[in-house]
A and B are shown apart, each in its own frame.
Chain A
Amino acid sequence: MVAVPSSEVAGFQGEAQAQTSGRSLRQIVWARLSRDRLAMVCMVVLVLYYLIAIVGPVVAGVFGISPYTLHSELISDLGGKPFGALGGISWAHPLGVEWGTGRDISAQLMFGLRISLVIATSATLMTVALGTVIGIVAGYSGGWTDNLIGRLMDLVLAFPFLLIVLALSGVLTDRLTSLGIPEGNVSHIVYLILVMSVFGWPYLARIVRGQVLSLREREFVEAAVAMGANKRRILFTEILPNLWAPILVYATLTLPAYIGLEAVLSFLGVGVLPPDVTFGSMLASSVSYFQVVPTYLFIPGTVLVILVVSFNLLGDALRDALDPKAVH
Chain B
Amino acid sequence: MAAYLVRRVVGMVVLLFLLSVTVFVLFNLLPGDPARLTCGKACTPQIIEANRHRLGLDQPVLTQYTNFVKGIFFGRTFSEDSPEPIICHAPCLGYSYNRHQQVLAAIADAAPVTFWLAVGAFLIWIVVGISMGILAALNRGSWVDRTIMGISLIGYSMPSFFIGLLLIFFVIIRFNWLPFPSYVSPFDNPIQFLQTMILPWIVLAVLNAAFYMRLTRNQVLEVFGDDYIRTARAKGLPERVVVVKHALRAGLTPIVTAAGLDLAYLLGGAIISENIFNLPGLGSLAVGSVLNSDLPLITGITLVTATIIIFANLVVDLLYAVIDPRVRVG
Contacts and interface: CB of A to CB of B under 8 A. Distances in A.
Interface string B277-290: 00000000011001
Interface in B239-258: none
A167 B294 CA distance: 10
A51 interface: no
Given A155-B15, A268-B271, A294-B169, A167 B298 contact: yes
Contact of B267 (A5, A163, A260, A269): A163
Interface stretch (A17-25, A128-136, A301-309): A301-309
A283 B30 contact: no
Nearest to A260: B159
A162 interface: yes
B106 to A, nearest CB: 15
Contact of B34 (A159, A171, A294, A312): A171
B183 interface: no
Interface stretch (B74-82, B133-141, B191-199, B305-313): B305-313
Interface string B297-321: 0100110011001100100000000
A166 interface: yes
B30 A290 contact: no
A304 B162 contact: yes
Contacts of B218: 7
The majority secondary structure among interface residues of chain B is helix
Contacts of B306: 158-160
Contact of B156 (A166, A268, A312): A312
A3 B18 CA distance: 23
A149 to B, nearest CB: 14
B130 to A, nearest CB: 15
B31 A175 contact: yes
Nearest to A156: B22
A160 B32 contact: no
B271 A290 contact: no
A169 B153 contact: no
B27 interface: yes
Contacts of B295: 171
A290 B169 contact: yes
B68 interface: no
Contact of B153 (A5, A297, A304, A309): A309
Nearest to B258: A5
B159 A264 contact: yes
A168 B286 contact: no
Contacts of B18: 151, 155
B173 interface: yes
A154 B11 CA distance: 10
A308 B301 CA distance: 30
Interface in B131-153: 153
A162 B309 CA distance: 14
A267 B273 CA distance: 12
Interface residues of A, number: 52
A161 interface: yes
Interface in A236-285: 256, 260, 263-264, 267-270, 280, 283
Interface size class of B (residues with CB under 8 A): 35 or more
A269 B284 CA distance: 12
Contacts of A146: none
Contacts of A283: 161-162, 165
B157 A256 contact: yes
A163 B169 contact: no
B57 to A, nearest CB: 11
Contacts of B293: 170
A171 B290 CA distance: 9
A278 to B, nearest CB: 12
A171 B165 contact: no
Given A158-B309, A301-B165, A270 B27 contact: no
A261 B309 CA distance: 20
Interface string A114-152: 000000000000000000000000000000000000010
Interface string A42-54: 0000000000000
B26 A168 contact: yes
A280 B161 CA distance: 9
A143 B267 CA distance: 34
Contacts of A60: none
Interface string A2-34: 010101100000000000000000000000000
Contacts of A162: 268-269, 271-272
Most buried by B among A164, A263, A283, A313: A164
Contacts of B27: 168, 171
A286 interface: yes
B265 interface: yes
Given A159-B306, A160-B268, A166-B271, A263 B26 contact: no
Contacts of A164: 302
Interface in A204-227: none
B61 interface: no
A301 B162 contact: yes
Interface in B219-271: 265, 267-269, 271
Given A1-B268, A162-B271, A167-B302, A172 B159 contact: no
Given A164-B302, A268-B287, 17 more contacts: A1-B268, A158-B310, A162-B271, A162-B272, A163-B302, A167-B290, A167-B302, A168-B27, A171-B32, A172-B26, A175-B30, A256-B157, A260-B159, A264-B159, A269-B287, A283-B162, A291-B173
11 contacts: A151-B18, A159-B306, A162-B268, A164-B302, A169-B290, A170-B293, A171-B37, A174-B36, A175-B30, A175-B31, A304-B162
Interface of A: 1, 3, 5, 7-8, 151, 154-155, 157-164, 166-172, 174-175, 177-179, 256, 260, 263-264, 267-270, 280, 283, 286-287, 290-291, 294, 297, 301, 304-305, 308-309, 312-313, 316
By Cβ-Cβ distance, the 6 closest A-B pairs, closest first, are: A175-B32, A162-B268, A309-B157, A260-B159, A160-B268, A312-B157
